């Protein structure tokens, strides 16, 4: 088994075919939003079904595929920033039978947080029980939370409680990186996919411990949860190649790339469906990509932008791989792996060496 910090969702196309994916993101990288995504209006006929938003247990099935189950009965998410704009299904789920911690309270005893749709009311009580004063910081704690029964979610999947789980076609890793990672890329194979997960990093936010904005390695988004040596954990991931004959494809996404002025380049939220569509079509062998040392990256025309006002130059920048930046990144990844000593799987060192060599050739060309 793989016991992972992952969401599970089903992506249904207009023909009624459902592709199940699991995805792992460090805290405050949009995992709950993705788990309950509502496709943009331009994607008529597409649907997203929520199997789980936080934990996935994956095991090889009799057909050689990995199957995932969600052992949880509810959702546990960060409140600030959650709204009908960012996550309408989540807001609909929170309409009743919910528990909140460290949020602010309105005069009529309703929860309130920064980023919610309702404007800041007069007479607000902050998360410490004081009359709200901006000088004291935010009204709701930046890591304030909600928990609610998953069955209340409008996108809750009928497969959520299937004892056999759902077959996983893709595993998606992601992090909050302002410059390094492109919008999406596909790992070359399972070995490279394990490397992709093991090298996940994210710029910290208030939802994570430590200084805001610092790059923090968070392999498979499991740093707060992995109960044994990461090198042995990566080896266990590698061992799945001998246990399952039809392993999922592995992808990495980054919704948080910024331009030279520090502005987010990708709209995110429901428009992340456009990236999911490419992932689904790659799994089905219908979408194109071009190889890079980092992985297979879509051509700009492979991302469906129908109904979205996004300049081609912006999309090109979102998909760009900068050899100089990646040379530094891979050097840092190698140093991080070295910290785990001889127990690190040789396959991870092999991937570091391969990417370094390919980047060097690219830079020399």
pLDDT tens digits, one per residue of 216-256: 999 999 999 999 999 999 999 999 999 999 999 999 999 99
Question: In whole numbers, what is the pLDDT of the chain averaged over residues?
Answer: 95
Same domain, 226 and 106: no
CATH number of 143's domain:
2.170.8.10
Tokens (6 digits) for 350: 């092999």
Angle between helices 346-364 and 190-198 in degrees, nearest 10: 90
CATH number of 270's domain:
3.90.228.20
Tokens (6 digits) for 295: 């992985």
Which residues are known catalytic residues? 29
Tokens (6 digits) for 46: 């597409």
Question: Distance between terminal CA atoms of the chain?
Answer: 44
Residue 245 lies in a domain: yes
Q: Which residues pair with 251 in a beta bridge?
A: 172, 186
Q: In angstroms, what is the C-alpha Rg of the chain?
A: 21
Same domain, 217 and 282: yes
Same domain, 64 and 109: no
How large is the average pLDDT for residues 1-26?
Answer: 97
319 pLDDT above the threshold of 60: yes
How large is the average pLDDT for residues 162-168?
Answer: 97
Q: Which of residues 113, 132, 151 is at a domain's end?
A: 151
207 pLDDT above the threshold of 60: no
358 pLDDT above the threshold of 70: yes
Tokens (6 digits) for 257: 């790339």
Same domain, 146 and 173: no
205 pLDDT above the threshold of 80: no
Measured between alpha carbons, how far is 363 from 361 in angstroms, rounded to an integer? Answer: 5
pLDDT in tens, 73-131: 999 989 999 999 999 999 999 989 999 999 999 999 999 999 999 999 999 999 999 99
Residue 348 lies in a domain: no
Same domain, 136 and 273: no
Residue 136 lies in a domain: yes
CB atoms within 10 A of CB 155: 21
Q: Which of residues 122, 151, 180 is at a domain's end?
A: 151
How large is the average pLDDT for residues 264-275?
Answer: 97
Residue position matching structure tokens 């490279």: 192
Measured between alpha carbons, how far is 234 from 40 in angstroms, rounded to an integer? Answer: 36
The answer to whether the beta carbons of residues 346 and 239 sit under 8 Å apart is no
Same domain, 129 and 277: no
Residue 181 lies in a domain: yes
* pTM of structure: 0.94
Tokens (6 digits) for 62: 């009799």
How large is the average pLDDT for residues 44-69?
Answer: 97
Lowest mean pLDDT among 26-40, 160-174, 278-292, 347-361: 26-40
User: Looking at the 3D structure of the chain, how many domains does it have?
Assistant: 2
Residue 336 lies in a domain: no
Residue 251 lies in a domain: yes
The answer to whether the beta carbons of residues 294 and 355 sit under 8 Å apart is yes
Residue 278 lies in a domain: yes
Q: What is the extent of the structural domain holding 296?
A: 2-70+160-323
Q: Which of residues 151, 174, 195 is at a domain's end?
A: 151
Same domain, 32 and 146: no
């Amino acid at each position: 088994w793989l016991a992972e910090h992952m969401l599970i969702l089903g992506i249904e196309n207009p023909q009624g075919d459902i592709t199940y994916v699991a995805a792992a993101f460090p805290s405050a990288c949009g995992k709950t939003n993705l788990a309950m995504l509502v496709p943009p209006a331009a994607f008529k006929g597409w649907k997203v079904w929520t199997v789980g938003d936080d934990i996935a247990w994956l095991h090889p099935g009799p057909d050689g595929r990995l199957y995932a189950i969600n052992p949880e009965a509810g959702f546990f998410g960060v409140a600030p920033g959650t709204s009908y704009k960012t996550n309408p299904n989540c807001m609909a789920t929170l309409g009743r039978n919910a528990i909140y911690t460290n949020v602010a309270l309105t005069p009529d005893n309703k929860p309130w947080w920064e980023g919610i749709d309702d404007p800041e009311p007069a007479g607000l009580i902050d998360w410490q029980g004081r009359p709200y004063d901006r000088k004291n910081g935010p009204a709701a704690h930046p890591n304030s939370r909600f928990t609610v029964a998953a069955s209340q979610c409008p996108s809750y999947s009928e497969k959520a409680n299937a004892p056999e789980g759902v077959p996983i076609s893709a595993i998606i890793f992601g992090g909050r990186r302002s410059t390094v990672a492109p919008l999406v890329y596909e790992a070359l194979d399972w070995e490279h996919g394990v490397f992709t997960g093991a090298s996940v990093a994210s710029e910290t936010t208030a939802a994570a411990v430590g200084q805001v904005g610092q790059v923090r390695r968070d392999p498979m988004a499991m740093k707060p949860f992995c109960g044994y040596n990461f090198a042995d954990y990566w080896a266990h991931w590698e061992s799945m190649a001998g246990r399952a004959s039809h392993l999922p494809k592995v992808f990495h996404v980054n919704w948080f790339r910024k331009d030279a002025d520090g502005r987010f380049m990708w709209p995110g939220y429901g428009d992340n469906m456009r990236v999911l569509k490419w992932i689904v079509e790659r799994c089905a062998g219908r979408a194109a990509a071009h190889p890079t040392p980092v992985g297979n990256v879509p051509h700009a025309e492979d991302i469906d932008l129908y109904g979205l006002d996004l300049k081609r130059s912006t999309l090109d920048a979102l998909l760009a791989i900068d050899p100089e930046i990646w040379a530094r990144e891979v050097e840092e990844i190698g140093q991080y792996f070295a910290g785990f000593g001889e127990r690190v799987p040789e396959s991870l060192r092999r991937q570091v060496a391969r990417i370094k060599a390919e980047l060097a050739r690219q830079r020399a060309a």
